[in-house]
Amino acid sequence: MEDGLGQKTAPVIVITGTPGTGKSTTASMLLEASPIPLKHLNVGDLVKQHGLHDGFDEEWQSFLVDDDKVIDELEPLVAPGGVLLDWHTCGIFPERWVDLVVVLRCDHTLLWERLEKRDYPLKKIQENNEAEILQTVLDEARDSYSEEIVVELRSETVEDMESNVSRIVQWIENWQRDHPAS
């Protein structure tokens, strides 16, 4: 979604948060509600599908992601804009790509329950729960991008998610108004 001059005609939005905070659910809801077409890229799925990793860590039950491979894979997909990046981290994405970073947050007790339902190993539940308590993902977003594009949103109930999607839709409409197509 570029105009003829290489300008984005649609934003790049990152939805991030500790595993279990509702990133993929929020992304799915946003795809349906968005006033413009967005391409949803679940980065974790891309890592698996395209081998963007250096193997699998059995202890942590996760892939050892190769950040350079991820960036190389995403660059041509993100450049035109109109992309929704969905991942548990955000700091590897170049600042020039990103127009909005939405960090989803959740009460750690509820998060624990969600991760148990996913059959995560206890060690992984503890690590992710600690990361949420220490606001690791939020701090990473604030350290990686200018404060005016980072938004922290609660994501504990369906009502929270609906409200979050409405806020993001409003942001997209404002972005469109501020970036008229040439």
* CA pseudo-torsion sign 163, 167, 168, 169: positive
Compute the distance between CA of residue 42 and CA of residue 20 in angstroms, rounded to an integer: 14
Would you list which residues are annotated within the binding site?
Answer: 20, 22-25, 118
Would you list which residues are annotated within the binding site for ATP?
Answer: 20, 22-25, 118
- As beta bridge partners, residue 84 has 13, 40
In angstroms, how far is CA 127 from the centroid of its own chain?
19
Antiparallel, parallel or unpaired: β 12-17 and 83-86: parallel
The residue with tokens 């190993």 is 121
Determine phi and psi for 62, rounding to 5 degrees.
-150, 160
The helix (H) or strand (E) run that includes residue 176 is helix 158-178
Interacting residues of 135 by C-beta distance below 8 A, sequence separation 6+ = 105
